[in-house]
Chain A
Amino acid sequence: MEIKNIYHIAKRAMGAQLVRMNAIASNLANADNIASTPEDAYKPIKPVFETKYFDIIKKRGISTVDAVTVEQMKDEPIKEYKPGHPLADEEGFIYRAPVDSQEEYVEMLEASRQYQNNIEVITTIKGLMLKTANLGK
């Protein structure tokens, strides 16, 4: 999709932050998930951000951001010895999802702050544009 003006900058940046929020939400929702094999255990996901530049050369230096992919982290599941657990394997181990809740909370705060920043930018720009449109009245 083309990037043409300042609204596109904020729109796409907010979209990227929302992808990040979704990833955090699913990580937190699966934080204490337990599986019987290491392969089945939930792996935390993280979006990959990439700068997208304007197509018009005259607008050089202007860019926005896209969440290009969402990738699974390579963290090993936490192995716990719980022989009584219904999901335990033959040796009595269960595999807990390696989600760091604190890290996710901090990232959630950061993502929401950055979303707000983009809204703030657009509110300011909108006001300025309306004032410019009413110039000379």
Chain B
Amino acid sequence: MINTFKQQLEVFSKAIGIRNRRNEILASNIANAATPNYKARDVDFEVELARSLSVGPIKTSNDAHFAVASKNLPGKVQYRKPLQPSMDGNTVELAVEQMEFAENSVRYQTTLNFINGKLSGLMSAIRGE
């Protein structure tokens, strides 16, 4: 039964984790908007989500086996290609970063709403109302 709850919420919890990480990376980019030679970074949400969903606990075929959960590896951080190069080697473009940050925040909120919907659905199923 616990497993089914986990299955219900797994995608969202993974998604929100990646969204949160992406927010931190975008915040770093915004913080470094004036640092010479800083290269803007980002993660590919879809790739990260697919990757984090494909890693999980090891399958067990015997009761003596331990279902060791494989550690969540840190995601692949990539560098952003700047639209226009700048003189000081900094590849942060504030407009781009702000847009990405805004989009990411909205998507984070949407994921929260999905989780809330799922939870209330599960709650009403439990209560049998």
Contact = CB atoms under 8 A, between A and B. Distances in A.
Given A9-B24, A50-B35, A131-B109, A121 B30 contact: yes
Contacts of B91: none
Contact of A117 (B30, B35, B43, B74): B30
A74 interface: no
B30 A118 contact: yes
B24 A62 contact: yes
Given A51-B35, A114-B33, A9 B105 contact: no
Chain B's interface: helix, strand, loop or mixed, by majority? helix
Given A61-B43, A118-B30, 11 more contacts: A9-B27, A49-B32, A49-B34, A60-B77, A64-B28, A114-B30, A124-B105, A128-B109, A132-B16, A135-B119, A136-B115
A128 B105 contact: yes
Contact of A65 (B32, B41, B98): B32
B55 interface: no
B32 A13 contact: yes
B28 A9 contact: yes
Interface of B: 16, 23-28, 30-36, 38, 41, 43, 74, 77, 94, 98, 101, 105, 108-109, 112, 115-116, 119-120
Contacts, number: 90
Contact of A114 (B34, B43, B108, B115): B34
Nearest to B37: A51
Interface in A58-116: 58-65, 110-111, 113-114
Given A57-B74, A61-B41, A131-B112, A125 B23 contact: yes
Contacts of A59: 24, 74
A60 to B, nearest CB: 5
Nearest to B36: A49
A65 B35 contact: yes
Contacts of A121: 26-27, 30-31, 101
A25 interface: no
B116 A61 contact: no
Nearest to B123: A136
Nearest to A5: B24
